[in-house]
Amino acid sequence: MLRILHTWPTLLAGVLVTVMAISGAVLSLEPAVARFSQPVGQTVAEDTTVASLASGVVAHFSDPQKIVRRASGQVVVYHADADGFAADLVNPATGASLGAYQPSAFFQTVTELHRSLFAGETGRIATGIGAAVMILLSVGGVLLLVTRSGGWRKLLKPSSGTFAQRLHVEAGRIAVAGLGILAVTGLFMSLTSFGLIGAPVEDSFLSFAESSGGPVLAVADMPALQKVDIADLRELVFPAKGDALDVFGLTVAQGSGFIDQATGDFLSFSANTPAESLYQLAYTLHTGQGAWGYALVLGIAGLSVPVLFVSGMATWVRRVRRSVRIAGNVSAGRADTVILVGSEGNSTWGFARSLHAALKAQGMVVHTGAMNDLAGSYPSARRLIVLAATYGDGDAPASASRFLSRLAGFSCQTDLAVSVVGFGDRSFPAFCAYARQVEGALKHMGVAELLPMATVDRQSTQQFAAWSHDLGKAISIDLHVEHTADLPGLKEWECVARKDFGQAYQTPKSILRFRAVQTKPGRFGLSRAGGPSFKAGDLIGILPKGSDLPRFYSLASSASDGFLEIAVSKHPGGLCSGQLCDLGPCDRIAGFIQPNARFNMPRGKAPVILIGAGTGVAPLVGMVRANDALKPAYLFAGSRDPQSDQLYREEIDTFRKSGRVRNVSYSFSRVPGGAYVQDALRANAEELRRMVRQGADIMICGGTSMAEGVSKALDDVLGPLGLTVQKLRADGRYQEDVY
């Protein structure tokens, strides 16, 4: 719902808002340009009055029309002379001309574009609507981000997702305050100019102030002008020349009034109404007149709008394009197998489609639908499969938002059994929390369990395949779901080097180096410079021969190293690891890079604690290798035996000498008095606490049980600081790559 409110106004008015924002950003330069391009004149004593300024102006100009003091402090005199009308900047102290006042025609044109799109009143209505849309988008954007990141307190958590999504979130975070101010004040001014709010009561043009008609008093002697400090002056309108009944019109910060030419006293003065004061505030906040630094900040906020627009549209187009159609969907009433999908970004639908096809190929009659479309009952169904993602901090994803309330009206026949699969990201504390909630609710209703609940971390096709294998066994069919989610373009990689370890423990491990193969010449017959871009911690999805299912390995090098490196542990009977461990020089594999920004070396200067075991050390070493900034890094590396399976020993020594890593602690589990990496953490607790106090990020790579052990050990270590792993995780300072 929130997302629809964020998307549709953009589709309807995105271009309008973008034009307003860009023109506004251009206008944000005006106060700075005005400040630095035109003289202000000498500064005047604080007690200089409007009477003295006006008498100076009268002395220098034969027919002054009005004096305007701009927010920048510049004083402009509009006057008539033999040639017509002119405006001069004047010295506030003397009233003498400093030269012609030339408001920039460029800025005037852009102002006209900004407030009316060159379309008069209609354009002004449009820009008012644009401001309202901007408010909607700002508020909606913040609420979406709150929902997405799982709460107000996690609002500043590093963003995740595609480049466009991250760009959208980051730009929004930077700009939303400025955009909010601009939108609210813009709408306020728009409504005021249309008289919809705060319209001061317009007295009729038939009633106006008149002077008493006596002999004209010199401006320097006018009591009303003598009382006004020049800093408060907005404008002073002179009476028409030769018209003894006309009056001075004076506008000051506090209000406006009319002055009798003969007595020099106020005929009337009306203080600003609250609405007028509010309007002035809105005007100042919106234009930044007289505060050029502030105006430039607003301008940057404005410039974020085209970025937000383009990145938002890119995300939207991607979502629409990826929406999934299910081939050969059977109606819910006839199906023997029902698949329900709770998905936020459509990726879970992709799994559903693969599962649907595989089940259908085995002769099942399958219906696939959104969890929100849960029927009152499924009379023919024997199996109910729920594939549920989690949104934010345990909320229902978009296509399941009404599922739990609909479940109350669901009547379940006794022979229906359910299997729930949760999709999520282990780096979130609420991993698969919604799926668990659904599973609990179904259990509570007494629906039989076909399989225990399974989870799929970050769209792991392996984990999904493992679950589907169990499903096949449970229903006595031979089920192979090879879900290939949006495989990006495959590339050929040629093995250039390998190093083997761990033969002694029957767990062979290899470090493999590859280079990208320039298979095809680029467009126009030119060879493309360089291979794909990647960083240590990103993933390579490798398609082993004989399978369409990619296996992911963490990269132990960055593109700038000139090679792609992975560490592989050979699993007995493992298709992909087996093939990899048999590679020799010049052998090739097919794979694609999958960015994994969450597990790249964190940016910034804060220290980093790197904890890995087995082949999990590899990506951490890749990060250290790329640590050209020499930020403090502490590596904890675990393996079984220094004689057998210790990866990267020599390289780590080199990095220690060059300062790429400050401290290294090795743990060996299969030597006398052996220890695990978590034991090393406890032994170095004091140093770890010191680094965490300095804002250190923690990166962990290795197997699940190691990650659990590390998490427990760190909870103990951090206890004295009042910190927990959970807390660091929520702050985006604790990243795991666990397999």
Partner 1 sequence: MKNIACALLLSTALVMPATAMAKDVNVTVDMKSYGGPGAYLAVYLVDGAGQFQQTLWVAGRKSKYYRHLKGWARGVSSTGGSIDGLTGPSVGSGRSLTVRANIADALINAGYQVVVDSAVEDWGDRPHDAAVPLVNGASAGGSGFVGKLSVKM
Looking at the Cβ atoms of 191 and 245, the one nearer to partner 1 is 245
What are 129-132's contacts with CB under 8 Å, separation 24+?
A: 129/13, 129/16, 130/13, 130/16, 130/17, 130/20, 130/186, 131/20, 131/182, 131/183, 131/184, 131/186, 131/187, 131/190, 132/183, 132/187
Q: CB–CB of 550/543 below 8 Å?
A: yes
Instruction: Give the contacts of 495 (CB within 8 A, at least 6 positions apart).
Output: 512, 513, 514, 583, 584, 585, 586, 587, 588, 589
Looking at the Cβ atoms of 199 and 218, the one nearer to partner 1 is 199
Q: Tell me the C-alpha to C-alpha distance, in Å, between residue 517 and each of 364, 538, 556, 590.
A: 43, 19, 19, 10
CA 173, CA 146: separation in Å to the nearest integer? Answer: 11
Looking at the Cβ atoms of 19 and 237, the one nearer to partner 1 is 237
Secondary structure class of 214 (helix, strand, coil): coil
Token digits for 632?
């403090």
Token digits for 372?
């929100």
CB of 102 to partner 1, least distance (A): 11
CA 731, CA 158: separation in Å to the nearest integer? Answer: 8
Token digits for 312?
């938002």
Looking at the Cβ atoms of 206 and 586, the one nearer to partner 1 is 206
Rule CB under 8 A: say whether 170 interacts with partner 1: no
Token digits for 424?
């999520």
CB of 207 to partner 1, least distance (A): 7
CB of 76 to partner 1, least distance (A): 9
Stretch that binds partner 1, among 80-88, 528-536, 569-577, 591-599 (CB under 8 A): 80-88
Token digits for 395?
């909320």
CB of 46 to partner 1, least distance (A): 28
| Residue owning tokens 């675990």 | 638
CA 287, CA 186: separation in Å to the nearest integer? Answer: 9
Torsion of CA 718, 721, 725, 726, to 10 degrees: 150
Looking at the Cβ atoms of 88 and 439, the one nearer to partner 1 is 88
Looking at the Cβ atoms of 82 and 408, the one nearer to partner 1 is 82
CA 692, CA 681: separation in Å to the nearest integer? Answer: 13
Looking at the Cβ atoms of 78 and 391, the one nearer to partner 1 is 78
Give, as ranges, the residues between 128 and 167 that touch partner 1 (CB under 8 A). Answer: none
CB of 208 to partner 1, least distance (A): 5
Looking at the Cβ atoms of 64 and 180, the one nearer to partner 1 is 64
Q: CB–CB of 133/312 below 8 Å?
A: no
CB of 115 to partner 1, least distance (A): 14
Q: Tell me the torsion sign for CA atoms 210, 212, 216, 222.
A: negative
Looking at the Cβ atoms of 211 and 461, the one nearer to partner 1 is 211
Instruction: Give the contacts of 599 (CB within 8 A, at least 6 positions apart).
Output: 537, 538, 554, 619, 699, 701, 735, 736, 737
Looking at the Cβ atoms of 80 and 738, the one nearer to partner 1 is 80
Of 19, 26, 69, 78, the one binding partner 1 (CB under 8 A) is 78
CA 142, CA 289: separation in Å to the nearest integer? Answer: 28
Looking at the Cβ atoms of 1 and 206, the one nearer to partner 1 is 206
145 — phi, psi (to 5°)?
-65, -35
CB of 121 to partner 1, least distance (A): 9
Of 16, 80, 253, 575, the one binding partner 1 (CB under 8 A) is 80
Looking at the Cβ atoms of 247 and 450, the one nearer to partner 1 is 247
Q: For the window 362-401, what string marks contact with partner 1 as x by the rule CB under 8 A? A: ----------------------------------------
603 — phi, psi (to 5°)?
-80, 170
Token digits for 273?
């109404």
Looking at the Cβ atoms of 206 and 529, the one nearer to partner 1 is 206
CB of 84 to partner 1, least distance (A): 6
Give, as ranges, the residues between 235 and 254 that touch partner 1 (CB under 8 A). Answer: 237-238, 240, 243, 245-246
Q: CB–CB of 193/137 below 8 Å?
A: no
CB of 533 to partner 1, least distance (A): 54
H-helix or E-strand containing 162?
none
Q: For the window 85-104, what string marks contact with partner 1 as x by the rule CB under 8 A? A: x-x-----------------
Stretch that binds partner 1, among 76-84, 147-155, 161-169, 383-391 (CB under 8 A): 76-84
Give, as ranges, the residues between 460 and 499 that touch partner 1 (CB under 8 A). Answer: none
CB of 242 to partner 1, least distance (A): 8
| DSSP one-letter string for 403-447 | HHHHHTT----TT-EEEEEEEE-TTSTTTTHHHHHHHHHHHHTTP
CB of 190 to partner 1, least distance (A): 16
CA 643, CA 502: separation in Å to the nearest integer? Answer: 8
Looking at the Cβ atoms of 79 and 148, the one nearer to partner 1 is 79
What's the length of the chain? 739
CB of 203 to partner 1, least distance (A): 9
Biggest CA pair distance of the chain = 115
Helices and strands of the chain, counted as H and E runs: 20, 25
CB of 281 to partner 1, least distance (A): 22
Give, as ranges, the residues between 285 and 324 that touch partner 1 (CB under 8 A). Answer: none
Q: For the window 48-67, what string marks contact with partner 1 as x by the rule CB under 8 A? A: -----------------xx-
Looking at the Cβ atoms of 207 and 519, the one nearer to partner 1 is 207
Give bridge partners of residue 283 from the DSSP assignment. Answer: none
Looking at the Cβ atoms of 77 and 182, the one nearer to partner 1 is 77
CA 274, CA 405: separation in Å to the nearest integer? Answer: 48
Stretch that binds partner 1, among 81-89, 276-284, 309-317, 466-474 (CB under 8 A): 81-89
303 — phi, psi (to 5°)?
-65, -20
CB of 145 to partner 1, least distance (A): 43
Give, as ranges, the residues between 193 and 222 that touch partner 1 (CB under 8 A). Answer: 202, 205-208, 210
Contacts with partner 1: how many residues (CB under 8 A)?
20
Stretch that binds partner 1, among 79-87, 579-587, 601-609, 631-639 (CB under 8 A): 79-87
List residues near partner 1 by CB under 8 A.
65-66, 68, 78, 80, 84-85, 87, 202, 205-208, 210, 237-238, 240, 243, 245-246
